[in-house]
Structure 1
Amino acid sequence: MVTPAWGGAPQPTFSCSFSPSFPRRRALHTAPIRPSVWEPVPLEEVQLVVEPAGGAVPPGGTVTLTCETSVQPPPQIHWTKDGTPLPLSPSPVLLLPEVGPEDQGTYSCVATHPSHGPQKSRAISISIIETGEEGPAAGSVEGPGLGTLALALGILGGLGTAALLVGVIMWHRRQRRGQERKAPENQEEDEEERAELNQPEDPEAAESSAGAP
């Protein structure tokens, strides 16, 4: 066995020879050999996708982790949680059904290939959303949106009140005008009735009443 000296040629050539102890025998030499050093080529960046996005789910929810890489043939995918390898068969997909407190943690995947070095993905945190922390319900508004909505409702309410007051004032004015128009007509009718009552009696009726004994 031969061990190259440190700092020697990067790719030395080796050969060996054998000299028999018998006379008249030539030494035997092997063909030269130049060993090559295999340097692992790192995989392309491994992508870790989580569903739902962000990795936060309510208690009992389901989380799906997918390790994606474009290397062919596909490498073996192993999973780690909080830096510790999970005792699972190699798979590009990790399914966490009915997530509980014990499932919370930081997950990542490691892709290994015979002609490449291992490549680790970024870590993704899986957490549980406690009751009351799920955020605003559908249709609700928080923060500045609530103030804007209240301001808009206040403006609409003020406009509606102003329109109602204007309508009431216009109605009262119309009522007064109607009464003012009716008053002269009633006065003329009263004067006509008074004139009829004040007219003298028929002359013939007056003579007949005068000649009566």
Structure 2
Amino acid sequence: MSSSTSLSALIRKIDDITVSTVDSTVALARSINEAISGVQKASAEVVLDPSVRSTVQQHIKRTLSDNHYCSGAGFASHIESTANTKEYWLLEWWYKKDNGLSQAHLDLDQATQQRLDFRTFEWFKHSPPAGKAYIHGPYVDYICNISYTLTSAVPVYYNDQFLGVAAVDLLVSQIEAELLSCAHPDYVILTNLENRIIFSSWPRFSRG
């Protein structure tokens, strides 16, 4: 196989990983928005409605089942305190395990949530236009998987009010495995826009 042919195969794989991840995140955000819009509530507390949370969980699990590449998915929301409501953090997160899907129970303790405060996370702070995704990483996810991760995030709105983000995680190790399975030139380095290394077939340069 020629160098140009192998490079084309590698580019197609990278494109497939990227497009499928963004599409999955956009679809998850849209599904969450539809679930929220179907409940007649006058405030952002709609995300705490039991029926909404159950529906959101089903959409998250479907995202994980349908996307081969992603390792975790969920919805992160922060409700500001008002005269009638308390400040509330919500992180509905599920991830893949060898024997199926498992829920990360991170929102059961509000004190813990406040210490985490995912509003400071890059993937939560950046709000692209509706229907567009922001991809953050590689970074070490100390909260869920303790691994180098890429996170794709899409904002979710309710009555034009920002509620939170739908997010999908990719393990960098999974990306490496996918790209190494392709025939490729001897030296390939994949970086993000900040020149952080996502993948390298050159031992001289490591990810991160």
**Which structure has greater helix proportion?**
2
TM-score relative to the length of structure 1: 0.23
**Which structure has greater strand proportion?**
2
Higher relative contact order (CA 8 A, sep 6+): 2
TM-score relative to the length of structure 2: 0.23
